[in-house]
């Protein structure tokens, strides 16, 4: 499988805190890679290192063979990497359509306004918001705002979509609907790197899983391999004696 994203020996220190330490993994073309771990494991920090919110203390990030280590978020977006945020951040006073248009204008294809609005409509329809295009973002439910966050990222027409807990805060019905939406997106060939705490959902969606603990990689493999790894079970159940540390 061709690697779309390659993370090599990535580290981030905040003073004396090692938030991420010597982390390596890759995401292949058309693959869904799940990134899981207990709270505070460093998952969101990894996202912020990849898309340029933080500069790494050490290591390298390559996207489509190009070194993007420490590149500004706007440049990363232009290259074809889009993300959502755990805490949704819509432009509250703007309509659904205008929110998505922003994503299209600043995305991979650098679309002019007319084409950006068409891309925005297509993205909104893909996530089920085609009937709410004129609604202000602030009027949407939590589930609606999650879908808007996803649509805005999709409107950028990325090659890799990074999802930071897109299922958080949703009820079981909404989770099931969002999972089906993600399956549809994946069916179009889009690669996805996702953080998620809902184990059943991420295990069913992912081709591979990377497990973090204290900023280091604890395990990597298929969902079945990871689910039966004693070190992963220990990390989630809180038995530090069983957790294997990387060499």
pLDDT digits (tens, 9 = 90+) for 42-83: 999 999 999 999 999 999 999 999 999 999 999 999 999 999
Model pTM? 0.90
pLDDT tens column, 18-28: 999 999 999 99
3-state secondary structure of 198: coil
Q: pLDDT-based confidence at 244, cuts 50/70/90?
A: very low
Q: Is 171 exposed, middle or buried (0-12, 13-18, 19+ CB in 10 A)?
A: exposed
pLDDT of residue 1: 64
Q: Using an 8 Å Cβ cutoff, are 196 and 225 in contact?
A: no
The CATH number assigned to the domain with range 1-80+162-247 reads 3.40.50.300
With a CB cutoff of 8 Å and minimum separation 6, the contacts of 160 are: 4, 5, 27, 63, 80, 81, 82, 190, 191, 192, 193
Domain assignments of the chain as residue spans, ordered by start: 1-80+162-247, 87-158
pLDDT of residue 69: 96
176: tokens are 């099931």
State the average pLDDT over residues 182-196: 93
- What percent of the chain clears pLDDT 70, i.e. is strictly above it? 95
């Amino acid at each position: 499988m061709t690697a779309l994203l390659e993370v090599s020996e990535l580290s981030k220190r905040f003073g004396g805190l090692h938030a991420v330490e010597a982390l390596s993994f890759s995401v292949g073309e058309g693959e869904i890679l799940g990134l899981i771990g207990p709270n505070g494991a460093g998952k969101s920090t990894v996202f912020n290192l990849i898309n340029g919110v933080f500069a790494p203390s050490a290591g390298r990030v390559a996207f489509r063979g190009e070194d993007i280590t420490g590149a500004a978020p706007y440049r990363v977006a232009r290259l074809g990497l889009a993300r959502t945020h755990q805490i949704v951040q819509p432009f509250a006073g703007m309509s659904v359509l205008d929110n998505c248009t922003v994503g299209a204008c600043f995305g991979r294809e650098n679309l002019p306004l007319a084409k950006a609005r068409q891309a925005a409509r297509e993205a909104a329809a893909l996530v089920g918001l085609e009937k709410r295009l004129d609604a202000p973002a602030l009027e949407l439910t939590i589930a609606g705002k999650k879908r808007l966050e996803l649509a805005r990222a999709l409107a950028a027409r990325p090659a890799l979509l990074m999802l930071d807990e897109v299922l958080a805060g949703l009820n079981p019905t909404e989770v099931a609907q969002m999972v089906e939406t993600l399956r549809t997106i994946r069916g179009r060939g889009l690669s996805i790197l996702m953080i998620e705490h809902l184990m059943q959902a991420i295990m069913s969606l992912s081709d591979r899983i990377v497990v973090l603990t204290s900023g280091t990689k604890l395990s990597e493999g298929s969902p079945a391999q990871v689910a039966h790894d004693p070190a992963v079970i220990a990390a989630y159940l809180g038995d530090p004696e069983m957790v294997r540390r990387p060499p």
